[in-house]
Amino acid sequence: MTVFRENKLFAFYTGLVVLIVLLAIFAPYLAPQDPMAGNMKLVLQTPSAEHFLGTDKLGRDIFSRILCGTQISLFMALCLVALIAMVGTLVGVLAGFFGGWLETILMRFADMMLAFPGIVLAIAIAGILGGSVINTILALLVVSWAKYARLVRSLVLRLRNQDFIQAAKIQGAKTSSILWRHILPNVMPMVVITGAMDIGTMMMEIAGLSFLGFGAQPPTPEWGLMLNEGRQYIQTAPWLMIYPGLAIFIVVAIFNLWGDSLRDVLDPRQE
Amino acid sequence: MFEMKMFNTKKLWKAVSLGLCGAVLTVMLAGCGADNSSSADKGVLKVGVTNFADTLEPTQNFFGWVVMRYGLGECLTKFDDKMNVQPWLAESWSISDDHMTWTFKIREGVKFSNGNPLTAEAVKASIERAFAKNNRAATFFKYKEIKAEGQVLTIVTEKPMPNMPGFLADPLFIIVDTSAEGSRDFAKEGPICTGPYMVESFVKEKAVMKKNPNYWDGEVPFETVEIPSIDDPNTRAMALQSGEVDMAVNIAAGDMDTFRGNDKFFVDEISSLRTVLARLNHKGILKDDKVRAALICGCDRETYNNVLLKGTFLPGKAPVPPSMDYGFDQLTDPNAYNPERAAKLLDEAGWKDTNGDGIRDKDGQPLKLDFVVYNSRAELPLYAEAVQSDLKKLGFDINIKTVDYNLVDQMGIKGEYDLLISNITTANTGDPEIFLSWYWKTNNNGDNPQNGSGYSNPALDAKFNELAAEFDKSKRRQLIIDIQQILLNDGAALFLGYPQTNIISNKVLSGVKMYPSDYYWITSLIKPAK
């Protein structure tokens, strides 16, 4: 709790993040109407008392859809970041700690992945696999893990020759326990910070792929997909794009600010 | 050190957000104040189109359509705004008493854009070229012999071909100067034809046309026609609003309101010859007549067309749209919208929701269907989602599979779908016979490849055989009505709606007109107003 008391800003952003998470969890109960089923007689209604943010092209309540979209976007982004961090850390630790040919292979492969323009490769992969939530996550995983691998490897390289590791080795500690008890805990803070700062970016990329038709498929209430659906009506019913866009903006901004302030709290350089 | 860095980050944040705000504002202002500097009066016509053609070779795929739409190619005959066949490069025609020999009189004094005269010999060479290069030609008619003598062309067919003049209006039979082919690559540089404009340069994204100095039918109004391909319908609408183009085709439902009743624009909106339908695969779950019937009568097609698409489409019922006189009103659809009946039919067929997940199942198999959709026409995904939403209420799980347009044709032929959306022109020869037989005549080991659905009805095939040899107009009409009724009774497909099609022009132009056949966009009648 002292962390919060000393970092007012971090406490504030954490509060907002918790609020978003709660909204996501309870979205199905909070949504005033079914986000999937609409009244086709009442399409493209302007925002009113009954439909807080208007209705979309199939007469579905946009407010309910955005609310339920929080769940999907957040779930996808968190899954993705967790997966990337895990894969990247694993590769980075192995490469950094063992060195030799293993490092050469893993790191050259990572370099290769970094040489591609990420989002373009992701579009290609998602396009080949076919549009779905799982495939989007896979595609973004494939293009994003390399950054973490490089980061973790360089941290491990620095740690590997430090005295406490040498001491553990001399004491006869097993390699697995060195990795688990000494290397990993020292690497984790950086990974967590990078991960937290990436949540927003990943949300944007997921929404981007959905917007292009490679991510969530209709009738899923996903923000990027909603933007795409609203595109046709940008001139006649702009609220179809404004509110999902606003939702993306707000949530991404909150996660970015939170990631920033988390870094301020966790970054060892600050001390 | 770190404080310093924080400060920079903050500064950067501010700069970025300020920059973004500025950019947004600029865009908005630019959007509002778009000047309407039209180019029509400077001898340049700019037309926003959708283009599917990679080359201008008229015998490749359906690329001939584009050759004709761009004001480049012309046929012996053409369709008027009621789909009647009219003379074009042929002045007149007649048929022999045995119904096997057609004689066409080729118009005198017509020249190709390179100055070569249009003779019957040239027409013969061009038609033979179409047959040699594209096997779709033989699906229209098969000939025994083509003879050319001066300006008289004689075609002897193998079988009686009642609709010959209509067939020759198909853009596949655009008349090209085959003698020019040696020195010119038709695919890249465009063919030599007789239309008002000729190709200066062509890539898929943009065509530039020049005035044809040898045009036969009056003065050509523009020196240059620029035809950017703007495939996204909203972008096309905005290009028209901003004055970037002077006219545009196929503005989507969502944007129509901005043009209707706007006195800067002229809107020509007509019922097209197209039908939007979902082909139903008769091999999987939809083999069961009752399930098909339930699926069809579970879809509220009135609402889709009148409300969701704002009346830019007419509600679907039968294969042939009401814009053509083939008995639309006298046909009865046994599967008109009736969700209660649909639910009952599914119960009778043994599909019940036994595990309470909202999806019906039978013998452990869920009632799950793949609906294959492509996006290049704005209305198609909307129909698919509306169907998905309506059928969800009945306990269907419809999985929308969005694929690229280029894959759709093959998927249709191979039958890789449960439902497959299509937007099909029903009468590109002035008569729906080919459309109907392509998709529903029995396919015996690939002899009718377009019917990949597995649908087969001997009674229907008999009607098709009768129709193929019938010359009498009213009997043909009756046969086509019978065929449609059989298809409706069998629940052969889900007919979703009939598009209105439109062409919208800035009022700096006059003479812009949409034809039901959708072949003639740029004509010599389009002139600067005044």
Confidence of residue B26 (pLDDT cuts 50, 70, 90): low
Structure tokens at B125: 């060479």
Confidence label for A56 from pLDDT (cuts 50, 70 and 90): confident
Q: What are phi and psi of B389, to 5 degrees?
A: -70, -45
* Contact (CB, 8 A) for B492 and B440: yes
| Amino acid identity at A173 | A
Predicted confidence at residue A64, as pLDDT, reads: 92
Chain length of chain B = 530
d(CA A204, CA A178): 37
Q: What is the pLDDT of residues B303-326, one digit of tens each?
A: 999 988 888 899 999 999 988 888
Report the pLDDT value the prediction gives residue B4, as an integer from 0 to 100: 43
Residue B37: pLDDT above 60? no
Q: How far is CA A268 from the centre of its chain?
A: 24
Q: Taking CB atoms and an 8 Å limit, are A232 and B375 in contact across chains?
A: no
**Secondary structure (DSSP) of B322-390:** TTSSS-TTT---TT-S-HHHHHHHHHHTT-B-SSSSSS-EETTEE-EEEEEE-SSSTHHHHHHHHHHHH
Residue B384 pLDDT more than 60?
yes
Residue B15 reports pLDDT greater than 90: no
Amino acid B128 reads E
Q: Which residue on chain B is closest to A215 by alpha carbon?
A: B402
B112 touching A (Cβ < 8 Å): no
What would the two tokens of residue B78 be? Answer: 């053409």
Tell which residue, B406, B390, B407, B378, has the closest CA to residue B276.
B378
Strand B493-506 with B313-315, pairing: antiparallel
Residue-by-residue DSSP string for B8-57: HHHHHHHHHHHHHHHHHHHHHHHHHT------GGGTEEEEEB----SS--
Chain A stretch 198-227, residues whose beta carbon is closer than 8 A to a beta carbon of chain B: 213, 217-219
* A35: confidence class by pLDDT, cuts 50, 70, 90: confident
What confidence score (pLDDT) does residue B294 get? 94
Residues with Cβ within 8 Å of B314's Cβ and at least 6 positions away in sequence, in order, are B271, B305, B321, B322, B497, B498, B500
pLDDT at B81 over 60: yes
Residues in chain B within 8 Å Cβ distance of A260? 9
Handedness of CA A56, A58, A59, A63 (dihedral sign): negative
B239 touches chain A (CB under 8 A): no
Supply B16's token pair.
């970025």
Whether the CA torsion B239, B240, B246, B252 is positive or negative: it is: positive
| Listed residue (B206, B204, B186) closest to B47, CA to CA | B206
> Is 3.30.56.10 the CATH number for A76-266?
no
Q: What is the pTM of this model?
A: 0.75
Supply the ipTM of this predicted assembly.
0.72
CB contact (8 A) between residue B375 and residue A213: yes
The alpha carbon of residue A123 is apart from the nearest alpha carbon of chain B, in Å, by 14
What is the per-residue pLDDT for B17? 60
Report d(CA B182, CA B179) in Å as an integer: 7
Q: What gap in Å lies between CA B471 and CA A132, rounded to an integer?
A: 52
pLDDT above 80 (res B29): no
Residue B166 has pLDDT above 70, yes or no: yes
| Distance from the A155 Cα atom to the nearest Cα atom in chain B, whole angstroms | 20
DSSP code string of chain A: -HHHHH-HHHHHHHHHHHHHHHHHHHHHHH-SS-SS---TTS-SPPS-SSSTT-B-TTS-BHHHHHHHHHHHHHHHHHHHHHHHHHHHHHHHHHHHHH-HHHHHHHHHHHHHHHHS-HHHHHHHHHHHH-S-HHHHHHHHHHHHHHHHHHHHHHHHHHHHTSHHHHHHHHTT--HHHHIIIIIHHHHHHHHHHHHHHHHHHHHHHHHHHHHTTSSS-TTS--HHHHHHHHHTTTTT-THHHHHHHHHHHHHHHHHHHHHHHHHHHH-GGG-
Q: And the tokens for B195?
A: 């239309």
Highest mean pLDDT among A1-10, B55-64, B118-127: B118-127
Give the C-alpha separation, A234 to B251, whole Å.
14
Distance from A35 to chain B by nearest Cα, in Å? Answer: 11
Say if CB A116 and CB A143 are below 8 A apart. Answer: yes
| Domain spans in chain A, listed from the N-terminal domain onward | 76-266
- Taking the CA of residue B495 as centre, how many other CA atoms within 13 Å lie in the half-sphere pointing to its CB? 29
Judge whether residue B42 has pLDDT over 80. Answer: no
Residue keyed to tokens 């009506």: A233
> What are the tens digits of pLDDT across the range A86-118?
999 999 999 998 888 999 999 999 998 888 888
pLDDT one-digit tens code per residue, A115-153: 888 888 888 888 888 878 889 899 999 999 999 999 999
> How do residues A154-208 score in pLDDT, each as one tens digit?
999 998 888 888 898 888 888 888 888 889 998 998 899 999 999 999 999 999 9
Q: Does residue B258 sit at the A interface (CB-CB below 8 Å)?
A: yes
Three-class SS state of B165? helix
Residue whose token pair is 């702009």: A238
Minimum-distance CB partner of A213 among B300, B382, B402: B402
Statement: residue A26 has pLDDT above 80: yes
Phi/psi of residue B254, nearest 5 degrees: -60, -25
- pLDDT, mean over chain B: 88
Q: Which two tokens stand for residue B449?
A: 């490849």
CB contact under 8 A, B389 and A233: no
- First-to-last C-alpha distance (Å) of chain B: 72
CA dist list (Å): B330 to B320, B430, B462, B484, B485: 12, 21, 22, 11, 9
Q: Which chain B residue has the Cα nearest residue A38? A: B389
Helices and strands of chain B, counted as H and E runs: 16, 22
Q: Round to whole Å and give the CA distance between B352 and B364.
A: 10
Q: Which amino acid is at A221?
A: P
In Å, how far is B388's CA from the nearest CA of chain A? Answer: 8
Whether residue B165 lies within 8 A of chain A, CB to CB, comes out as no
By the 10 Å C-beta count (0-12 exposed, 13-18 middle, 19+ buried), B157 is classed as middle
Amino acid at B122: A
Cis upstream peptide for B321 (omega within 30°): no
Angle between helix B289-297 and B339-348 (nearest 10): 160
B53, B69 contact by CB (below 8 A) = no
- CA–CA separation, B296 and B277 (whole Å): 11
Residues near A127 by Cβ (< 8 Å), separated by ≥ 6? A214
CA-angle at B516, arms to B312 and B44, nearest 5°: 95
pLDDT recorded at residue B16: 58
Give me the pLDDT at residue B9, please: 52
Q: Is B406 on the interface with A (CB under 8 A)?
A: no
- For residue A231, pLDDT over 50 is answered with yes
pLDDT at B6: 46
SS3 assignment, position B172: helix
Residue A51 pLDDT greater than 80, yes or no = yes
What pLDDT was estimated at residue B84? 85
Minimal-distance CA residue of chain B relative to A233: B254
**Are the Cβ atoms of B300 and A40 closer than 8 angstroms?**
yes
- The tokens for B450 are 């377009």
Longest dimension (CA), chain A: 77
Backbone angles phi, psi at B178, to 5 degrees: -70, -20
pLDDT of res. B61: 84
Give the tokens for residue A130.
């076919």
Task: Answer yes or no: do A232 and B233 touch at CB < 8 A.
Answer: yes
A43–B307 CB contact, under 8 Å: yes
DSSP states of B468-488:
HT---HHHHHHHHHHHHHHHH
B375 touches chain A (CB under 8 A): yes
Query: Mean pLDDT of all residues in chain A?
Result: 89
Mutation for testing the B interface, residue in A232, A249, A257, A266 having most B CBs under 10 Å: A232
Query: In this complex, is the C-beta atom of A253 within 8 Å of any C-beta atom belonging to chain B?
Result: no
